[in-house]
């Protein structure tokens, strides 16, 4: 037995530790599932405690100058020590000729909420046999993951039978387990609409259990192996079905639309994730009435929904408290016999709800807001030309302004406006656009200080990226006018410091990736010039806004192998994180996401066998790659969807 220095989960990190010490002039070896070959499958029993043990290695055959061995595993017998039979992973890090390593426990705190381990290396310059603070040349902080939490991905794959999707969970560092659900081996593609809870610890999904049956709703706790719980017990799967569901922002409730049986209306329900406490939220509906859509308020206390509750085929905006189910109030204004509410958006602080409707003029869809109690209904989109409509709508992060696009002045010329929630302060954020021009694809900065949009504002059919003040007081171009092509697909960094956009700057149809400071300075191309006319296809900001992952065929000699790269927001440190693929017929796919802490990227690729898509996880520096999908049992197996 080895005494345990502290109970926490390190995860499979052997390659990570070894790489850190290679930089410090040390050598070593490691094991576990973080090797580049990777390995899926296996079990993940999710016990109450995941532990590690550290052992000093004296000079000898294993390490000529000594080193450290770190073991981790599951304390299955709960005796407080890591028994030899419980060791899942072992990492050995050797000292260099004049080097030392030091491993210390990091208590839970700001650096690591669940604790962790700090591994330091350096040269013993004064020869005292101790790694002094001034001698540390490399330091790595390995944060732990609490054993009662889940950090990873959920995905569907037809592992055992072609076309029969099953649901799986995998931790970012490896360890893949099927989520137990009712047998549906006779149904092709039985699982749909998988949705993670806001805290990522639970998942809800719809599933068809028999051919010709409707969808039923289930939820599963990703931290345990307890299996899925049916939430839609009131629905007869032979003649009813669940059509939509959504977690409450606090993760305690699931709301869903469903028809209980043939001939019944589509009602709105809420239920706890354990399957208890079901309530009918939508109350009485007129004959022929149905709930069409719904949205949770940010505080999880109210649900807004669209329904023809009072007059058949006239869809109004209704608000209902989860504490007073079945007693909704009408939040939309008086609608004509052919009027309808088409969409709705809660303010981030829940102070008002916005919606679009042809409330005043039949066929002209304008923007309105109401208070959460259904009062103070007001139109905020101003005067529209006779064929005008509001299209895109987005609240500012601080709930003080609403941006929207509309062809308010000229038919089919979409322009962008902002307005206060009470309808005052309406402003166009850019100059008037000429006929046949358009503006759209707008986005608020996370700090609310500006918004960006894409428009062919200067030259017809040549789109550029612009920034605008929230009140419409000023605007500026972010993509240089010198570009001969068009720019678009713009996104603001999570910290609001920079904007990334894609541009075929030479007008040749080849799209490169650019980054620019939010004030328009410091524009830089962050993707290399491609081979064989390859292009950047998509990209993702890291959670901290320091890096960009993108998907492209920029380095492919055969012109069709798309791979994933990571680059600093300023263009530095370009790294290919997907291994160079074998050749024609191999590619990575557009399914790739950052982990919540930004340390890893999950991606799908057929990098081992052309046409067989598997799921992998890799660190942002390209090391520690691990396969997350289990071993497939037939040649046509594939991963179908990833839910991060």
Which H, E and C letters describe 38-56, residue by residue?
Answer: CCCCCCCCCCCCEEEEEEE
Closest CA to 70 of 43, 88, 85: 88
Ordered domains of the chain (ranges, CATH): 14-143 (no CATH), 382-392+402-411+427-525 (2.120.10.30)
> 436-474 in b/e burial notation, b at 16+ Cβ within 10 A?
ebbbebbbbbeebebbbbbbbbeeeebbbbbbbebebee
Hey, is 133 helix, strand or coil? helix
pLDDT tens-digit readout, 272-310: 999 999 999 998 899 999 999 999 999 999 999 999 999
Q: State the CB neighbour count (10 A cutoff) for residue 611.
A: 11
Q: Judge whether 320 and 281 are in contact, CB under 8 Å.
A: yes
Quick check: 401 pLDDT over 80?
yes
Hey, is 135 helix, strand or coil? helix
Which are the contacts of 523, defined by CB distance < 8 A and separation ≥ 6?
A: 478, 479, 480, 514, 515, 516, 517
Closest CA to 342 of 390, 382, 300: 390
pLDDT tens-digit readout, 334-368: 987 789 999 999 999 999 999 999 999 999 999 99
Backbone angles phi, psi at 23, to 5 degrees: -65, -25
Q: State the CB neighbour count (10 A cutoff) for residue 287.
A: 6
Q: List C-alpha distances in Å: 512 to 39, 262, 485, 560, 574.
A: 34, 53, 11, 16, 14
Residue 114: exposed, middle, or buried by beta-carbon count in 10 A (0-12, 13-18, 19+)?
A: middle
Which are the contacts of 24, defined by CB distance < 8 A and separation ≥ 6?
A: 96, 99, 121, 122, 137, 138
Q: List C-alpha distances in Å: 460 to 32, 200, 463, 468.
A: 57, 45, 8, 20
DSSP conformation letters of 47-110: -S-EEEEEEEEPSSSS-TT-EEEEEEEE-TT-SSSB-GGGEEEEEEEE--TTEEEEEEEE-SSS
Residue listed under structure tokens 């929904």: 305
Quick check: 27 pLDDT over 70?
no
Q: State the CB neighbour count (10 A cutoff) for residue 30.
A: 21
Mean pLDDT throughout 433-443? 91
Structure confidence at residue 85 (pLDDT): 65
Q: Which long-range contacts (CB under 8 A, 24 or more apart) does 30-33 make?
A: 30/90, 30/91, 30/92, 30/93, 31/89, 31/90, 31/91, 32/88, 32/89, 32/90, 32/91, 32/174, 33/89, 33/173, 33/174, 33/175, 33/626
Structure confidence at residue 112 (pLDDT): 59
Closest CA to 192 of 223, 174, 166: 166
Hey, is 15 helix, strand or coil? helix
Q: Is residue 582 left, alpha or beta, with left meaning phi > 0 and alpha meaning psi from -120 to 50?
A: alpha
The top-scoring range by mean pLDDT among 400-404, 482-486, 593-597, 610-614 is 400-404
Structure confidence at residue 26 (pLDDT): 34
pLDDT tens-digit readout, 61-100: 677 767 777 666 555 565 667 777 666 556 566 665 566 7
The predicted model scores a pTM of 0.77
Q: List C-alpha distances in Å: 621 to 214, 257, 386.
A: 45, 43, 55
pLDDT tens-digit readout, 555-604: 655 556 678 899 999 999 988 888 776 655 555 566 789 998 899 999 98
Q: Is the CA virtual torsion 177, 183, 186, 191 positive or negative?
A: negative
pLDDT tens-digit readout, 612-635: 888 899 999 998 889 998 887 666
Residue listed under structure tokens 């490169």: 512
Residue listed under structure tokens 């973080």: 34
CA distance 194 to 218: 10
Hey, is 22 helix, strand or coil? helix
* 458 — pLDDT class (breaks 50, 70, 90): confident
Q: State the CB neighbour count (10 A cutoff) for residue 122.
A: 23
């Amino acid at each position: 037995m080895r005494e345990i220095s502290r109970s926490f989960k390190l995860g499979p990190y052997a390659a990570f530790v070894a790489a850190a010490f290679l930089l410090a002039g040390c050598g070593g070896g490691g094991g576990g599932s973080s090797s580049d070959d990777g390995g899926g499958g296996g079990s993940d029993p999710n016990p109450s405690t995941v532990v590690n043990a550290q052992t000093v290695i004296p000079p000898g055959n294993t390490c000529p100058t000594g080193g450290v061995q770190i073991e981790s595993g599951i304390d299955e017998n709960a005796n407080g020590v890591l028994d030899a039979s419980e060791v899942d992973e072992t990492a050995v890090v050797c000292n260099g000729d004049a080097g030392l390593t030091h491993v210390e426990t990091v208590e839970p705190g700001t650096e690591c909420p669940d604790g962790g381990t700090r591994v330091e290396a350096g040269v013993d310059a004064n020869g005292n046999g101790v790694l002094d603070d001034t001698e540390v040349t490399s330091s790595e902080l390995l944060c732990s993951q609490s054993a009662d939490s889940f950090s990873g991905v959920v995905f569907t794959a037809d592992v055992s039978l072609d076309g029969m999707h099953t649901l799986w969970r995998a931790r970012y560092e490896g360890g893949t387990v099927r989520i137990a659900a009712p047998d549906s081996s006779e149904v092709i593609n039985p699982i749909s609409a998988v949705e993670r809870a806001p805290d990522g610890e639970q998942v809800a999904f719809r599933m068809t259990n028999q051919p010709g049956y409707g969808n039923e709703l289930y939820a599963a706790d990703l931290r345990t192996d307890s299996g899925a719980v049916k939430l839609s017990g009131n629905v007869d799967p032979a003649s009813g079905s669940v059509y939509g569901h959504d977690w409450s922002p606090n993760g305690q409730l699931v709301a869903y639309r469903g028809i209980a049986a043939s001939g019944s209306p589509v009602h709105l329900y809420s239920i706890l994730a354990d399957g208890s406490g079901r309530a009918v939220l939508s109350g009485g509906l007129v004959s022929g009435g149905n709930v069409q859509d719904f949205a949770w308020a940010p505080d999880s206390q109210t649900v807004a929904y669209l329904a023809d509750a009072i007059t058949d085929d006239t869809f109004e905006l209704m608000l209902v408290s989860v504490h007073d189910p079945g007693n909704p109030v009408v939040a939309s204004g008086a609608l004509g016999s052919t009027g309808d509410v088409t969409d709705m958006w809660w303010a981030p602080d829940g102070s008002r709800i916005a919606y679009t409707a042809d409330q005043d003029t039949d066929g002209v869809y304008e923007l309105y807001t109401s208070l959460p109690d259904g009062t103070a209904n007001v139109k905020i989109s101003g005067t529209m030309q006779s064929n005008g409509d509001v299209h895109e709508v987005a609240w500012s992060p601080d709930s003080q302004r609403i941006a929207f696009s509309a062809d308010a002045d000229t038919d089919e010329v979409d322009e962008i406006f902002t307005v206060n929630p009470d309808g005052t302060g309406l402003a166009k954020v850019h100059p008037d656009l000429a006929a046949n021009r358009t503006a759209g694809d707008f986005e608020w900065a996370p700090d609310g200080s500006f918004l960006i949009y894409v428009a062919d504002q200067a030259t017809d059919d040549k789109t550029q990226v612009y920034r605008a003040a929230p009140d419409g007081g000023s605007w500026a171009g972010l993509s240089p006018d010198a570009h001969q092509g068009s720019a678009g697909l713009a996104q603001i960094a999570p910290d609001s410091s920079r904007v990334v956009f894609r541009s075929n700057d030479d007008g040749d149809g080849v799209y490169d990736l650019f980054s620019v400071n939010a004030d328009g300075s410091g524009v830089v191309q962050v993707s290399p010039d491609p081979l064989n006319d390859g292009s950047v296809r998509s990209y993702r900001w890291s959670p901290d806004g320091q890096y960009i992952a993108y998907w492209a065929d920029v380095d492919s000699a055969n012109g069709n192998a798309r791979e994933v790269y990571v680059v600093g927001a300023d263009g530095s440190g370009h790294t290919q994180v997907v291994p160079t693929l074998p050749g024609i017929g191999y590619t990575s796919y557009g399914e790739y996401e950052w982990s919540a802490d930004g340390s890893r990227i999950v991606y799908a690729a057929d990098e081992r066998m052309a046409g067989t898509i598997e799921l992998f996880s890799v660190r942002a520096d390209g090391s520690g790659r691990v396969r997350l999908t289990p071993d497939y049992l037939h040649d046509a197996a594939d991963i179908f969807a990833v839910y991060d």
